[in-house]
Structure 1
Amino acid sequence: MRPQWSDEKFREAHEKDSWTTWFGVSFEENGEKLLRNCDCFEQLMFEWEPPKRADLCPSIVSFVGETGAGKSSIIALLIKILEQDTVLEVPVVGLSKHGQRPTSGDVHLYLDPVSITGSHPILYADCEGMNGGNREPTSRSVFSRNGKENLPTKAIRYMKKLVWGPEVMSQADREFIVLNLYSRILYTFSDVVVFVLTNTSQETPLPVLILLSMALTSLVERLNPLS
């Protein structure tokens, strides 16, 4: 499942994959954290002719789990096994030499090749892995100049400053963002959430507790509380 790519091929794959970014957070030099919403969803909907877009009812299947669990590999298999000659984008699968370092950052969106012909398309959301710590994904080396991210600006629709309480902001590192922001957004908007496991021998699987926490947090905090 892990491709035998050269560094140049791996870089090219990430450059192409950058256009599948749905949303993510950039960490600015001044300490600010900006939520970026890209136009990937809209671009996927443009696969349909204008008269048919009004009737579209897309479904989102989100894949979450620990770093290195195989989320991207599963999505790539689902796309390629159903349409081997597909021209649709597929996730970049990590190289063995990168170990448990996250491959692609943020959340990426991919189109299911079978449902593309109907009015109920399925979109696969590939979330950056949990428990990756503060290790930057390998894709960051492709889009960094002088240590600063440089994603394609045409793909970004808008950016919004994230504001939490001071206690939260002090601990809002990359791992915190993935677990508490990305997962919450995906749980709210997804029709199906797939938690990819690496260890199924636990008596009380941690993923079950995480999913329950996501559900509770999404329900309680999706709206601003009354002051």
Structure 2
Amino acid sequence: MPPPARNPRNGDDDVSDISDEEAPSELEHLPSEVCEDDRCAAAQKPIWHCVDCDSSYCSTCWPLQGPHKPKKRGRDGLPHEKTDPLVARRLDAILNPTKDPLEIQRLHAADQLTKWFGVTKDSTGRPVFEDYGRYATLMSSISPLESMGNRYPQLVSFIGVTNAGKSSPIKMLIQHEDESRSPENRPLFPSPVVGSVINDSIPTSGDVNLYADPTTHADQLPILFADCEGFEGGERTPLGAKSRRTDQDNGASSNLDNFHSRPITWAVTEEQRQREYAVTALYPRLLYTFSDCVVFVLRNAKTFQSAVLTKLLEWGVAALESAINAPALAHCIVALNGTDPGVDEREWDVNYATQSLLSS
């Protein structure tokens, strides 16, 4: 007896239904928290995950694996490293974000609540500076002023070229103690949307977003993380800005009580009216002036002099000559993202790496 005919979908007779059990699960690719050696009789805690082997082993079975035997090295010339499976899971979720377009759109829509300030254009094409009130909303909602008296927030700004990975370290700093916080408190501390490989040619973060550090939010000196839109993105609208524009077109907005806008009257030339100019000249100078620390993220150390040092000196001069009531210049951290694990071991020492970078 022939099988019953299937109902075609979208006019395609070859499309078959896939049950939830057959659909690939993202959990299958996460580091295991149990020993994966078939010979293991009774796993000895702790369990370690090997990133190179993509497997987890207990303390007894770890040295029994071929790649883990004495004098064995991986492709980077280093021994396979023991990693806490929970840490590996957390970092894997950050460094390998979802590729689902609908989920990415949802994440960017939710991230609109963290928007601090940005530049748009009015109906005549003139640039307008918009303050979304994120700073006031953040400081009053998470840790009320009445409970602490005077507080002095410390601003840490992350800047750099587009797709350098600025959002990743912020997300790591915010989520590194997620397990110690109750699930109901985690939404109080949103983190940036990390760029996905399916949108590799489009900037991710739009304008400037502001996030609270969970570990210091209730202190007298709370730390705030500013995620700045990357340089060299041209006139392409970042995914974050596209999501905000869609919300505005649909009549949705946030932080209306603290929202302020004003025209940028000094933008008189065509260059100054471009988005690239605001991202390269306006955002970093504002952040540099008000920041206690500036984290410059880049992937290529060879571009340090042109991409980092020159800009930092220009912003420092502008802040020193133009800023009022700025008792000290910001500290600077240069973060080399995506560093090869096989780099000279001395490069992991902060002092050596700093001197090596400055002398290059």
Whether these two folds match at TM > 0.5 is yes
SS in 2 for 1:166: coil
* Structure 2 partner of 1:67: 162
Q: Distance in 1 between matches of 2:315 and 2:309?
A: 10
How far apart are residue 220 of structure 1 and its match? 3.1
How far apart are residue 170 of structure 1 and its match? 4.2
The TM-score with structure 2 as length reference comes to 0.57
Give the letter aligned to residue 157 of structure 1: F
SS in 1 for 2:221: coil
Segments of 5+ residues of structure 1 without an aligned counterpart are: none
Of the candidates 33, 53, 73, which is equivalent to residue 127 of structure 2?
33
Give the letter aligned to residue 206 of structure 1: A
Of the candidates 4, 8, 13, which is equivalent to residue 107 of structure 2?
13
Query: 1:169-216: CA deviations, max 9, x gaps?
Result: 544311110111101100110000010011002473521111111111
Give the letter aligned to residue 218 of structure 1: A
Query: Normalized per residue, which structure has more strand?
Result: 1
Query: 1:46-73: CA deviations, max 9, x gaps?
Result: 2123422532111000000000011101
Give the letter aligned to residue 216 of structure 1: V
Relative contact order (alpha carbons < 8 A, sep ≥ 6): 1 or 2 greater? 1
* Structure 2 partner of 1:138: 239
CA RMSD, Structure 1 to Structure 2 (Å): 2.4
Of the candidates 266, 272, 283, which is equivalent to residue 164 of structure 1?
266
76-85 vs 24-33, which deviates more? 76-85
* Structure 2 partner of 1:219: 320
Query: 1:79-125: CA deviations, max 9, x gaps?
Result: 11133453310001111121132112110000011102311100000
| CA shift in 2, pair 1:221/1:117, >3 Å | closer
SS in 2 for 1:23: strand
Segments of 5+ residues of structure 2 without an aligned counterpart are: 1-94, 325-360
Of the candidates 279, 289, 294, which is equivalent to residue 193 of structure 1?
294
* Structure 1 partner of 2:192: 91
How far apart are residue 37 of structure 1 and its match? 0.7
Give the letter aligned to residue 104 of structure 2: F
Q: Distance in 1 between matches of 2:304 and 2:122?
A: 41
Q: Distance in 2 between matches of 1:170 and 1:148?
A: 27
The TM-score with structure 1 as length reference comes to 0.88
- For the pair shown, the structure with the greater C-alpha radius of gyration is 2
Q: Distance in 1 between matches of 2:262 and 2:174?
A: 32
How do 1:82-161 and structure 2 match up within 5 A?
82-84=177-179, 85=181, 86-87=186-187, 88-145=189-246, 152-155=253-256, 157-161=259-263
| CA shift in 2, pair 1:165/1:157, >3 Å | closer
